[in-house]
């Protein structure tokens, strides 16, 4: 899941308008941002699931044993939140930390059973993940619902703040349209394995 995380970030923006949108968006995928260099260096890996080449939507077992372990995600979220609290205060720091951890919570129903509890899968405890990616059409519809729902909540909040501030509604429409277009494009690319 990628686009769905952005959808949730847009929904949070509508509830916490003082939270910088760019940072909410970044926070929503921060676990994956940290995952990328670990994947490139071989510390975390992906292997094909279900006999394919592992390139399709949800078609891989993701051994993100550090970044997507429950405890690892909590630590990364806490660090992100603390860094954000320095310029923006405790409340927004907590919001940003929670935003980062929401990634793990939203990944939980989607992932195949590949999310450890402890970093590096220490202790070989049971792996988590409810496997909705095994039903890609349903998973994609849910992700699209997050994008559209988040976009709609964001647009409503943006129109309200533009109206209060005496700003043209066009300025509220533009980021909402850009967000939904980006979310749909991201989901479409993800679906075709790009």
Partner 1 sequence: MSFVLGTLLCVFLVGRLDARLPWPAPAAKREGGAS
What kind and span of H or E run contains 179?
helix 170-191
**83 sits near partner 1 (criterion: CB under 8 A):** no
Phi, psi (degrees; rounded to nearest 5) at 53: -95, 5
> Minimum distance from CB of 63 to partner 1 (Å)?
17
According to the binding rule CB under 8 A, does residue 100 interact with partner 1? Answer: no
The reply to whether 94 sits near partner 1 by the rule CB under 8 A is no
CB crowding 125-150: b at 16 or more within 10 Å, else e: eebbbeebbeeeeebbebbbebbeeb
Nearest-angstrom CA–CA distance, 86 and 136: 40
Q: According to CB under 8 A, which residues from 19 to 58 bind partner 1?
A: 19-22, 25-26, 29, 32-33, 36
Q: Which stretch binds partner 1 (CB under 8 A): 18-26, 58-66, 97-105, 116-124?
A: 18-26
Residue 183 binds partner 1 (CB under 8 A): yes
Among 80, 92, 94, which Cα is nearest to 27's? 80
d(CA 174, CA 178): 6
Residues found near partner 1 in the complex (CB under 8 A): 2-3, 6, 9, 13, 17-22, 25-26, 29, 32-33, 36, 87-89, 91-92, 158, 161-162, 164-165, 167, 171-172, 174-175, 178-179, 182-183, 185-187, 189-190, 194
């Amino acid at each position: 899941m990628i686009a769905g995380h952005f959808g949730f970030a847009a929904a949070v923006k509508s509830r916490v308008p003082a939270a910088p949108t760019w940072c909410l968006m970044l926070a929503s995928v921060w676990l994956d941002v940290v995952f990328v260099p670990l994947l490139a260096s071989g510390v975390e890996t992906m292997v094909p699931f279900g006999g394919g080449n592992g390139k399709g939507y949800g078609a891989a077992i993701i051994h993100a044993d550090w970044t997507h372990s429950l405890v690892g995600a909590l630590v990364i979220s806490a660090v992100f939140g603390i860094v954000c609290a320095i310029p923006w205060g405790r409340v927004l720091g907590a919001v940003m930390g929670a935003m980062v951890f929401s990634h793990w919570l939203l990944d939980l129903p989607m992932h195949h059973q590949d999310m450890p509890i402890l970093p590096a899968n220490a202790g070989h405890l049971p792996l988590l993940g409810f496997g909705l990616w095994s039903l890609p059409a349903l998973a994609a519809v849910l992700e699209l619902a997050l994008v559209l729902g988040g976009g709609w909540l964001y647009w409503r909040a943006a129109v309200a703040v533009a109206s209060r501030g005496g700003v043209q509604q066009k300025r509220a429409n533009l980021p909402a349209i850009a967000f939904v277009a980006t979310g749909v494009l991201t989901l479409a690319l993800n679906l075709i394995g790009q």
